[in-house]
Amino acid sequence: MTDPVVPSVAYAVRDGIAVLTVENPPVNALSQGVRAGLIAGLDQADADPAVSAAVIIGGGRTFIAGADIREFGKPPLQPYLPDVLKRIEAMQKPVVAALHGTALGGGFEVALTCHWRVAVETAQVGLPEVKLGVIPGSGGTQRLPRLIGPKLALDMIVSGNPAPAKRALELGVIDQIVAGDLLDGALAFARTVVAEKRPLRLVRDMDEKITGTDPAVFEEYRKSIARKAKGFLAPWRCIDAVEAATKLPIDEGLLKEREFFFECMGSPQRKAQIHAFFAEREAAKIPGLPDDVKPKKIASAAVLGAGTMGGGIAMNFANAGIPVKLLDVSQEALSRGLGVIEKNYATSVARGSMKQEAMDRAMKLITGTQHFEDIGDADIVVEAVFEEMGVKKEVFAKLDKVMKPGAVLATNTSTLDIDEIAASTKRPQDVIGTHFFSPANVMKLLENVRGAKSSPETIATVMAMGKQLKKVSVLAGNCDGFIGNRMLHGYLREANFLLEEGALPQQVDRALEEFGLAMGPFRMGDLAGLDVGWRIRKGKAHLRPRDERYSPVADRLCELGRFGQKTGAGFYRYEGRDALPDPVTEEIILASAKEQGIERRAISDEEIVQRCMYPLVNEGAKILEEGIAIRASDIDITYLFGYGFPVYRGGPMFWAEQIGLDKVLATIRGFHKIHGKFWEPAPLLVQRAEAGKGWNDR
């Protein structure tokens, strides 16, 4: 027996107009109850002779924010969304959608099917399905082009980005912006429509904007997204569906759209992208924090160190409207840092991604200083000075003296021990790691690192700050490299070993970029600068066991002054920004292999992917077992937002589960036999794989 459907739509009549209020908190997702409730409400409105029109509105914070994503992948339950839309189109009376909050996906498709749409100014409309690995499946790709033309529709559908109400009005997506109360405005609009006896207007009947569309529009669009959408399925199907809208009668177009929709729905990409959606929201939840703990308010900030990282971090605060003082003891470094910030903003303005006024506002919020006394009243200070324990300790001792009581003292260290840094203050409860990723004004990840003594309030504060700065925050425990960089060690090690065993940088990079990484390890190394890693390796050389395998290739490149793109050569040589294979590198690789007695062989792309990616999974399992990451999905989020892991694979831990942890383990065991101790399987991986379980199964 199936559970009875509980309608989640309230029905009322106001001055002869039916008001259907969707009540399905938090975001009024189109669950079965909402779908059934809408049909029931429309039936009632149509049947009641005292009702002249209907308004559909959302209760609570938003109109309908889309399909219920939790129902994705499960057998669909009746009534389906297209049934609801058919019912709207069959209405004998005007139906007005009244929008506030976010009318997204299926919610926007409901609105597009209504005869008219009104919205408050703060409302947003959009079709974000592509971000979840699917396409709009209930007419979005057929109706939107009919309303605004194929080009603008492509922009909205392929990017998935919402349009604010004002823009939607300009485009003709909505018919009116309501200034005061939304329901009053929508009722007034409906009354006018009734009084004027306006013919019911259905988007399905509007063909003017799509008639005679040049097919070249679609070819050009495909070319324009080729790089960004490489490896993805949904963006391409979005274009196919909009193209179908311009070629087929609407009912055939709707069938075509449905076909593409189900193709995407059945793909592993959809599963991965939905995993990423929920994982992102899950990462914000920290188990064990007392219920009554409240984040401190961050209304002012300070950043220590005006280098690339410090400057980028300061920009984050300014972009969020938070005044920030940038401190560097060297006047020269400070001027340079402020200059770089200004240049970065100016580039955004020139590119059109930022308005001049926004730049002026941001620049006004950033003040430079050389004196610690000037920053004492900031709510948070983020230290981004030279990555060396001695320097950090000295700086934190100073901060302890000048910062007001209760200020959060954060360090942007990417590897150093948070507890040791905290111990140089008398307030370790206020000390925490906030690890930004370079370029800090662009990368979305914020890896917060809790020390042994960080207080719940301090933890809550930096997690909330991430949201304020529009970042995705993950909470990590304190260990060498935390979550992200600790996992990266094995990845880079294997990439380098593969060179000696038979591959070349261009082959390794290509294989991993085809896997979906934004950039392979060698191009990435060249871009970041090889000298940084070189310095760290030299510093730690005495700690390396003598019998441990070690690839000297990168060191030798550095010894030749080849630090990467900035010196014109690294693993590659550079013509402008183009990376070209370089015989010098090949010579160094061959010599290194020879010295170590390694016989080079042909290496498959599959082996490259496994050798570089499985260390992420194996180390990830150790990190999970040690409690450095709270959950497997936090590791995925770290890699998706900080390391360019392809979102359509869901992150390394999710990806491994999809392959099957037993299969991953078998391959790791094989590598262990050949390559030795680096491939010791993580106990948690063994335990999960042998029990036939995933990371989260009990």
The binding site for ligand COA (CB under 6 A) comprises: 26-27, 29, 65-70, 102, 104-106, 128-129, 132, 278, 281
| 109 is a catalytic site residue | yes
What kind and span of H or E run contains 476? strand 472-476
Q: Which residues face 57 on adjacent strands?
A: 21, 98
CB closer to ligand COA out of 135 and 628: 135
User: How far, in Å, CA of 179 to CA of 191, rounded?
Assistant: 17
The full DSSP string for 374-386 is: GGTT-SEEEE---
Shortest distance (Å) from residue 653 CB to ligand COA: 19
> Contact at 8 Å (CB) between 121 and 165?
yes
User: How far, in Å, CA of 499 to CA of 585, rounded?
Assistant: 10
CB closer to ligand COA out of 243 and 280: 280
3-state secondary structure of 352: coil
Q: Which residues face 574 on adjacent strands?
A: 579
Shortest distance (Å) from residue 407 CB to ligand COA: 28
Which residues have C-beta within 8 Å of that of residue 329, sequence separation ≥ 6?
A: 370
CA distances from 685 to 360, 611, 618, 649 (A): 52, 16, 7, 19
Shortest distance (Å) from residue 68 CB to ligand COA: 5
CB closer to ligand COA out of 129 and 526: 129
Q: Which structure tokens are listed for 687?
A: 């335990």
Separation of CA 136 from chain center:
20
What kind and span of H or E run contains 343? helix 331-351
CB closer to ligand COA out of 273 and 610: 273
CB closer to ligand COA out of 320 and 362: 320
CB closer to ligand COA out of 104 and 110: 104
Return the ∠ at Cα 444 (arms to 277 and 482), rounded to 5°. Answer: 95
CB closer to ligand COA out of 81 and 318: 81
Q: What is the 3-state secondary structure (H, E, C) of 219-282?
A: HHHHHHHCCCCCCCCHHHHHHHHHHHHHHCCHHHHHHHHHHHHHHHHCCHHHHHHHHHHHHHHH
Of 71, 89, 109, 619, the active-site residue reads: 109
Shortest distance (Å) from residue 281 CB to ligand COA: 4
CB closer to ligand COA out of 62 and 411: 62
From the number of C-beta atoms within 10 Å of its C-beta (0-12, 13-18, 19+), residue 222 rates as middle
Shortest distance (Å) from residue 449 CB to ligand COA: 23
> Contact at 8 Å (CB) between 73 and 39?
no
Counts of helices then strands in the chain (DSSP H, E): 28, 19
CB closer to ligand COA out of 174 and 569: 174
User: How far, in Å, CA of 79 to CA of 336, rounded?
Assistant: 62
Shortest distance (Å) from residue 284 CB to ligand COA: 8
Rounded to the nearest 10°, the torsion over CA 532, 534, 535, 538 is: 160
| 129 is a catalytic site residue | yes
Shortest distance (Å) from residue 692 CB to ligand COA: 29
Shortest distance (Å) from residue 470 CB to ligand COA: 11
Shortest distance (Å) from residue 655 CB to ligand COA: 22
Q: Which structure tokens are listed for 519?
A: 């950039």
> Contact at 8 Å (CB) between 649 and 670?
no
CB closer to ligand COA out of 24 and 414: 24
User: How far, in Å, CA of 366 to CA of 384, rounded?
Assistant: 16
CB closer to ligand COA out of 236 and 491: 236
CB closer to ligand COA out of 126 and 305: 126
> Contact at 8 Å (CB) between 381 and 410?
yes
Q: Which long-range contacts (CB under 8 A, 24 or more apart) does 358-367 make?
A: 361/321, 362/315, 362/318, 362/319, 363/318, 365/317, 365/318, 365/321, 365/322, 365/323, 365/324, 366/314, 366/315, 366/318, 366/324, 366/325, 366/326, 366/338, 366/341, 367/323, 367/324, 367/325, 367/326
What kind and span of H or E run contains 433? strand 431-436
Shortest distance (Å) from residue 379 CB to ligand COA: 23
Residue 176: how many CB atoms within 10 A of its CB?
A: 17
Phi, psi of 327, rounded to the nearest 5 degrees: -110, 130
Shortest distance (Å) from residue 128 CB to ligand COA: 4
Closest by CA to 35, choosing from 61, 66, 13, is 66
Of 89, 129, 373, 587, the active-site residue reads: 129
Phi, psi of 99, rounded to the nearest 5 degrees: -105, 135
Shortest distance (Å) from residue 592 CB to ligand COA: 49
Active site residues: 109, 129
